[in-house]
Chain A
Amino acid sequence: GIQVEQSPPDLILQEGANSTLRCNFSDSVNNLQWFHQNPWGQLINLFYIPSGTKQNGRLSATTVATERYSLLYISSSQTTDSGVYFCAVERIGGSRLTFGEGTQLTVNP
């Protein structure tokens, strides 16, 4: 099956700092999504981004499908950004999302 690797596994920031999270995948995909799992366990859809660049407030994401990676940028981080960020992909011809192991982000005040 398709492999999804996220880096870094853990990240600790001071409030106001910027960060970049990376997602590498091993096969061509027709779906890539970024999620934030908050400390209460809820999964929040951040981006649907199989290719290209999108921005939503302080968050933006870029997927370079030909090179099989995606980046999630968080600017001016806030304590409420803390949680686990998951990348999930669906390979071409597939019907399921395969999740990476996540990046645990802690933003300190």
Chain B
Amino acid sequence: NAGVMQNPRHLVRRRGQEARLRCSPMKGHSHVYWYRQLPEEGLKFMVYLQKENIIDESGMPKERFSAEFPKEGPSILRIQQVVRGDSAAYFCASSPPSGREQYFGPGTRLTVT
């Protein structure tokens, strides 16, 4: 059973471009979470999604950030018009419908130049 998959693993964008981060949960998992780790800091919750629904987006910045988890395909975290302060590691986690333990992917390291 493959773990949580994230791609790309590394992403470089210039200021003003868009960044799209993808996350495929573990098989059988229907809950997806996104977390951000700024340099030298701990992880901070961003958003919690189930298929076709955003359950909790209270950790998302109000502008430029959006997330989706469509009926088919991976979850996408989209950052529009990136700025240098968006440079961070973005981790995706998934959990099964009946469980609480979250399993983390390897992360996408975004660098904004």
Contact = CB atoms under 8 A, between A and B. Distances in A.
On chain B, which size bracket covers the interface? 20 to 34
A35 interface: yes
A96 B100 CA distance: 10
Contacts of B44: 99
Main secondary structure of the interface of A (DSSP, over half): strand
A35 B35 CA distance: 14
Given A30-B100, A86-B42, A95 B109 contact: no
Nearest to A101: B42
Contacts, number: 49
A96 B59 contact: yes
Interface in B93-111: 93, 100-104, 106-107, 109
Interface stretch (A16-24, A38-46, A60-68, A73-81): A38-46
A101 B48 CA distance: 21
Interface in B61-105: 89, 91, 93, 100-104
A106 interface: no
Nearest to A87: B42
Contacts of B18: none
A45 B48 contact: no
A31 B106 contact: no
B42 A102 contact: yes
Nearest to A88: B43
Interface of B: 33, 35, 41-45, 48, 55-56, 59, 89, 91, 93, 100-104, 106-107, 109
26 contacts: A31-B100, A31-B101, A31-B102, A33-B102, A41-B89, A41-B109, A42-B106, A42-B107, A43-B43, A45-B101, A45-B103, A86-B42, A88-B43, A95-B48, A95-B55, A95-B56, A96-B33, A96-B45, A97-B33, A97-B35, A97-B93, A98-B45, A99-B42, A100-B42, A101-B41, A101-B42
